[in-house]
Amino acid sequence: MAYDFDLFVIGGGSAGVRCARISAGHGARVGVAEERFWGGTCVNVGCVPKKIMVNATEYGQWAEDAAAFGWDLEVKGHDWARLAEARNREVARLSGIYGKLLAGNGVTTFDARAKFLDAHTLQVGEQRVTAERILIATGGTPQRLEIPGAELGLISDDLFTLKALPKRVVVIGAGYIALEFACILRGLGAEVDVMYRAALPLRGFDDDIRTAVVEALQGQGMRLNPDVSPTRITQVNGHLMVAMSNNFMREADAVFFCTGRSPNTAGLGLEEAGVETNASGAVVVDEDHRTSQAHIYALGDVIDRVNLTPMATATGHALADTLFGNKPRKASYDDVPTAVFTNPPIGTVGLSEAEAAARGPVDVYVTRFTPMRHTISGRQGRRTLMKLVVCQKTDKVLGAHMLGEDAAEIMQGIGIAVRMGATKADFDRTIGIHPTAAEEFVTLRTRAREAGVQPPSQQAAE
| Catalytic residue ranges | 434
Residues 260-289 as x/- pattern, contact with ligand NDP by CB under 6 A: xx----------------------------
Nearest to 252 by CA among 324, 154, 350, 134: 154
Number of residues assigned to the chain: 462
Check if the beta carbon of residue 39 is closer than 8 Å to that of residue 13.
yes
List 197, 290, 305, 373, residue binding ligand NDP (CB under 6 A): 197
Taking contact as CB under 6 A, which single stretch among the options 12-20, 171-179, 319-327, 452-460 is the one that binds ligand NDP?
171-179
CB of 201 to ligand NDP, least distance (A): 7
**What is the H or E stretch that residue 62 is in?**
helix 47-65
CB of 37 to ligand NDP, least distance (A): 17
- 339 in contact with ligand NDP (CB under 6 A): yes
CB of 7 to ligand NDP, least distance (A): 26
Nearest to 143 by CA among 300, 310, 280: 280
DSSP bridge partners of 161: none
Residues 10-49 as x/- pattern, contact with ligand NDP by CB under 6 A: ----------------------------------------
* Chain centroid, CA 147 distance in Å: 25
Helices (H), 127-206: 176-187
List 9, 52, 53, 258, residue binding ligand NDP (CB under 6 A): 258
Site residues for ligand NDP, 109-148, by CB under 6 A, read 145
Q: Residue 7 or 351: which CB sits closer to ligand NDP? A: 351
* Chain centroid, CA 56 distance in Å: 19
Q: Residue 197 or 295: which CB sits closer to ligand NDP? A: 197
First to last CA, the chain: 59
- 177 in contact with ligand NDP (CB under 6 A): yes
Using DSSP's 3-state secondary structure scheme, residue 240 falls into strand
Cα-Cα-Cα-Cα torsion 276, 278, 281, 287, nearest 10 degrees, comes to -70
Check if the beta carbon of residue 102 is closer than 8 Å to that of residue 21.
yes
List 40, 99, 166, 173, residue binding ligand NDP (CB under 6 A): 173
- DSSP per-residue letters across 260-282: -EEES-TTS-HHHHT--B-TTSP
Nearest to 405 by CA among 119, 65, 114, 38: 65
List 9, 308, 331, 402, residue binding ligand NDP (CB under 6 A): 308
CB of 388 to ligand NDP, least distance (A): 22
List 82, 93, 203, 327, residue binding ligand NDP (CB under 6 A): 203
Which residues of the shown chain bind ligand NDP in the complex (CB under 6 A)? 145, 173-178, 180, 196-198, 203, 229, 258-261, 307-308, 338-341
